Structure 1
Amino acid sequence: MATYKKRGYKPKTKAEQEEVLEENSTTAEVFNTLDESASKTEEWAVKNQNVIIGAIAVVAVVVLGYLGYNKFVAEPKASEAMNEMFKAQQYFEQALNGATAKDSLYTLSLNGGEGKYGMLDIIEEYSGTPAANLANYYAGMAYYNLNDYQNTVKYLGDFSSKDEILGPISKGRIGDAFVQLNQPEDALSYYEKAASMNENDYTTPMYLFKAGNVALNLGKTKTALDHFNTIKETYPSSSEASNIDVFIGKAQASL
């Protein structure tokens, strides 16, 4: 068993001398191992310094490339896309505002006219830009007005927005399309999504009301009653609340 010895202590017996030699030998072995490890690490670093420097350079290039791409490629491309979409937006708004030949205007909005891009061109040519995302919204709405409900679901499904109104309306319109496609279960799901997105006094009661009616027709009376009661209790000043008691009565009668 090793014992604590003060500095300058000289071994007296043969056993103590052997113990000191053994300790010195062990210590030397440890330091030799550390030296060997350090030497191998240094040797590896020297041999692979080009790889290390290269890896650091790659990271720097990626970061700078990302910043440069955003500044000199992504931002100008996004701006260009919005400019190219202007005419297609005009066609859509003219159709929406009651102009004659609505179907033709919605079609022009989708496919373009007068040598200008339509929404479908914007989606294809400027993929990943805010303009392309917004073009999905316009395209889905245009297809709905053209009674093409499959494409309504497709393009509105590709649109995303955190806007308090546009987000719920896009989901609600998908619900409307599913109603037209005679897929009430899907319609109910999207109406409920629309109602729960960015809750507000306009879109929330509107889609709760639609969800309640679809649920009632599906025989999901408890779900319908919950939606109708939420309108009555939480959104009493909404237009949907004006005759909500009639629908609550229908749901209660079906329980």
Structure 2
Amino acid sequence: MATYNKRGYKPKNKVEKEQNIEADSTTAEVFNTLDETASKTEAFVEKNQIYIFIIIALVAVIVLGSLGYKEFISKPKQVSAMNDMFQAQKYFDQAVIGVEKDSLYNLALNGGEGKFGMLDIIDEYGGTPSANLASYYAGTAYLRLKNYKKAVEHLENFKSDDEILAPIAKGNIGDAFVQLNQPNEALSYYEQAAEMRNNDYTTPMYLYKAGTIALDLGEADKALTYFERIKNGYPNATEASKVDVFIGKAQVLTNK
């Protein structure tokens, strides 16, 4: 255990004197080492101060530049993109519920009345949330117009964490691959869409689509698993009302 002498304490014998001398010597060495380290640090700073200042300046420029970009470029750009996207989105919404679907989807893609279309938004405002959303609209419009390769291209570029929109985008890619007669790719995207979120709308819908494609591909075991998940996990879903027929078919094929 360490002991400490009180201030004014006088050594009583030779041994204590030697201990005090040794302690003073050790303390002196520690301070000398600290002094040497400080001197070396000061010398290093003095020798390399130009480079140190440059590094500090670069970090400051990067931080301030990032903040400035977000405040003075990114935000205004996004506001402008949203404004320019309004008419294209209106065309798209009208196409979904309207009768002249093809012409409206084309207007949504290419613009009209002097306004931008979704493709213009993607080109003009790349990197913004609006351009990302425009990729979804463009891909879905191309799907409705039966341009399936373009649909896949744009939907692949769409990224989202949304509960509904994210799996629907994946599912739409699956729909495009069905039309392109590429069932294996379609199955993969339906499976991804089903697993992305767990809700009573998209999950049973894409489990059902995955199951039917799996049956067509001769993967009855996999199809049966998907159909039974719908029956047991989503009994109120639209797909649940017709899944018993497919469960029976999958069971027959599985037992062959």
TM range (shorter): 0.7 to 0.9
RMSD between aligned residues: 2.9
Residues 76-115 of structure 1 aligned to structure 2 (within 5 Å): 76-100=76-100, 102-115=101-114
**Structure 2 gap ranges (5+):** 1-9, 12-26
Residues 24-173 of structure 1 aligned to structure 2 (within 5 Å): 38-100=38-100, 102-173=101-172
Q: Indicate the residue corresponding to 2:252 in structure 1.
A: 253
Query: Deviation at 1:40?
Result: 3.7
Alpha-carbon displacement from aligned partner over 1:71-125 (angstroms, at most 9, x marks no partner): 111111101001001111121112111232x222211211112221111111111
Number of residue pairs matched by the alignment: 249
Query: Deviation at 1:132?
Result: 0.2
CA distance in 2, matches of 1:130, 1:28: 64
Structure 1 residue ranges (4+ consecutive) displaced by more than 4 angstroms after TM superposition: 27-38
Q: Indicate the residue corresponding to 2:195 in structure 1.
A: 196
Q: Indicate the residue corresponding to 1:17 in structure 2.
A: none
Q: Which amino acid aligns with 1:233?
A: N
1:238–1:32 Cα change, 3 Å? closer
Residues 10-29 of structure 1 aligned to structure 2 (within 5 Å): none
Query: Deviation at 1:161?
Result: 1.3
Query: Deviation at 1:38?
Result: 4.5
Secondary structure of the residue that 1:115 maps to in structure 2? coil
Q: Which amino acid aligns with 1:66?
A: S
CA distance in 1, matches of 2:242, 2:34: 84
Secondary structure of the residue that 1:85 maps to in structure 2? helix
CA distance in 2, matches of 1:157, 1:224: 26
- With 166-175 and 103-112 compared, the bigger mean Cα shift is at 103-112
CA distance in 2, matches of 1:235, 1:33: 73
CA distance in 2, matches of 1:30, 1:231: 74
Secondary structure of the residue that 1:132 maps to in structure 2? helix
Q: Indicate the residue corresponding to 2:224 in structure 1.
A: 225
CA distance in 2, matches of 1:39, 1:197: 60
Alpha-carbon displacement from aligned partner over 1:104-155 (angstroms, at most 9, x marks no partner): 2211211112221111111111011110000001000110011000011110
CA distance in 2, matches of 1:174, 1:157: 8
CA distance in 1, matches of 2:210, 2:173: 13
Secondary structure of the residue that 2:159 maps to in structure 1? coil
Secondary structure of the residue that 1:163 maps to in structure 2? coil
Q: Indicate the residue corresponding to 1:16 in structure 2.
A: none
1:161–1:30 Cα change, 3 Å? closer
Q: Indicate the residue corresponding to 1:18 in structure 2.
A: none
Secondary structure of the residue that 1:215 maps to in structure 2? helix
Q: Which amino acid aligns with 1:198?
A: R
Secondary structure of the residue that 2:126 maps to in structure 1? coil
CA distance in 2, matches of 1:95, 1:34: 77
CA distance in 1, matches of 2:144, 2:155: 13
Query: Deviation at 1:44?
Result: 2.1
TM-score by length of 1: 0.85
CA distance in 1, matches of 2:203, 2:242: 16
